[in-house]
C-alpha cells in the first residue's frame, strides 16, 4: 500500500493512470459503438475528455523537464544515443509547449490561436520524438544482437535450435529463423529494452492516425494507447524495467 501511495503521489504516476483510463474509455467506446448503450457511451466519452484535460494540467512543467533531459543526453559519449535522445527530448519539449498552449486556450487564458494548427504541430513533435526513441531502441537491440553472436555459448545454443528445426529447401528460411531466434533472445535478455520498444511501437500509431500518415480507427488507437500506458505504469512502478540511458 505504501508503494501505491508513493506512486500515486507522483504527478507522472497520476498522468499515466489518467492516460490509461483515457485510452481504456476510447477503446470501450469503440467496442460499444454498435451496442444499444447510448447512456454508457456518453459517460465514457465524458470521462475520456475529463482524463485528457486532467493530463494537460499534470504536464505543465514537463517542457522544462524535457529541456533538462536534452542537456543531459547531449553529454553521452555514444554519438548515436546522443543524437537520438537529444532530438527526442527536444521534440518532446516542443510537444509539451504546444500542449500547454492548447490547455491555456481550453481554460480561456488564451483566445486568439488556431487550435487545429497547434494540435497538428503538437502531433508532429510527438511523432518525431517517438521515431527518435524507437531508433534508439533499434540501435540498442542491434548492439545486443552483435554481443549475442560473439558469445560462443549462444552460438552453440542457436546451432542446436536450428538443427532441431525441420529441414527446409529454401536457403533463406533457416537464415530468417536464425535472425528471429537471435532477436527474441536479445529482447528476452533485456526486458527493459523489449518493453520500451513495444511501448514506442504502440505510441507511434497515435500521431500516425492524427497526422493522417496511417489511418487506423479509434479501436486501434485506444488499444495501442492503453497498452503503452500500462507499460508506462509498470516501468514507473518498477524502475529496473525502465530503459537507460
Distance CA 189, CA 180 (A): 14
Global pTM reads: 0.89
Q: pLDDT digits over 220-242, tens only?
A: 999 999 999 999 999 988 989 99
**Residue spans per domain, the chain:** 2-143+204-241
103-106 CB contacts, 8 Å cutoff, 24+ apart: 103/53, 103/56, 103/57, 103/60, 106/53, 106/56
Q: pLDDT digits over 122-180, tens only?
A: 999 999 999 999 999 999 999 999 999 888 888 888 777 767 655 544 445 567 788 88
Q: What is the pLDDT of residue 210?
A: 92
Q: What is the pLDDT of residue 171?
A: 45
How many other β-carbons are positioned within 10 Å of the β-carbon of residue 100?
19
Question: Taking a C-beta distance cutoff of 8 angstroms, is the pair 88, 132 a contact?
Answer: yes
- What is the H or E stretch that residue 170 is in? none
Q: What is the pLDDT of residue 27?
A: 96
Q: What is the pLDDT of residue 178?
A: 83
For the cut 90, the answer to whether the pLDDT of residue 2 exceeds it is no
Q: What is the pLDDT of residue 168?
A: 45
Distance CA 101, CA 212 (A): 22
Distance CA 61, CA 234 (A): 22
Give the Cα-Cα-Cα angle 241, 48, 63 (nearest 5 degrees).
Answer: 55
Give the Cα-Cα-Cα angle 175, 178, 183 (nearest 5 degrees).
Answer: 125
In whole numbers, what is the pLDDT of the chain averaged over residues? Answer: 88
Residue 87 has φ and ψ, to the nearest 5°, of -65, -40
Q: pLDDT digits over 104-114, tens only?
A: 888 888 888 89
Cα Rg of the chain (Å, integer): 21
Q: pLDDT digits over 3-23, tens only?
A: 544 554 567 778 899 999 999
Q: pLDDT digits over 54-73, tens only?
A: 888 888 778 888 999 999 99
Q: What is the pLDDT of residue 6?
A: 54
Distance CA 156, CA 143 (A): 19
CA dihedral sign, ordered 199, 245, 68, 128: negative
Amino acid at each position: 500500500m505504501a508503494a501505491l501511495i508513493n506512486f500515486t503521489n507522483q504527478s507522472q504516476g497520476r498522468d499515466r493512470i489518467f492516460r490509461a483510463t483515457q485510452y481504456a474509455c476510447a477503446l470501450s467506446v469503440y467496442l460499444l459503438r454498435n451496442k444499444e448503450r447510448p447512456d454508457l457511451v456518453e459517460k465514457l466519452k465524458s470521462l475520456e475528455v475529463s482524463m485528457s484535460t486532467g493530463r494537460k494540467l499534470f504536464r505543465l512543467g514537463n517542457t522544462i523537464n524535457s529541456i533538462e533531459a536534452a542537456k543531459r543526453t547531449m553529454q553521452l559519449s555514444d554519438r548515436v544515443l546522443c543524437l537520438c535522445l537529444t532530438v527526442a527530448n527536444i521534440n518532446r519539449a516542443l510537444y509539451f509547449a504546444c500542449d500547454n498552449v492548447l490547455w491555456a486556450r481550453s481554460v480561456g487564458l488564451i483566445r486568439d490561436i488556431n487550435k487545429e494548427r497547434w494540435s497538428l504541430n503538437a502531433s508532429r513533435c510527438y511523432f518525431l520524438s517517438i521515431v527518435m526513441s524507437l531508433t534508439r531502441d533499434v540501435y540498442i537491440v542491434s548492439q545486443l544482437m552483435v554481443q549475442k553472436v560473439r558469445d560462443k555459448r549462444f552460438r552453440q545454443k542457436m546451432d542446436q535450435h536450428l538443427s532441431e528445426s525441420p529441414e527446409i529447401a529454401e536457403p533463406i528460411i533457416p537464415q530468417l529463423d536464425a535472425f528471429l531466434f537471435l532477436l527474441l533472445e536479445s529482447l528476452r535478455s533485456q526486458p527493459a529494452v523489449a518493453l520500451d520498444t513495444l511501448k514506442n511501437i504502440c505510441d507511434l500509431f497515435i500521431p500516425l492516425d492524427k497526422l493522417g500518415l496511417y489511418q487506423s480507427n479509434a479501436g486501434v488507437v485506444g488499444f495501442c494507447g492503453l497498452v503503452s500506458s500500462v507499460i508506462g505504469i509498470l516501468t514507473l512502478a518498477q524502475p529496473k524495467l525502465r530503459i537507460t540511458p
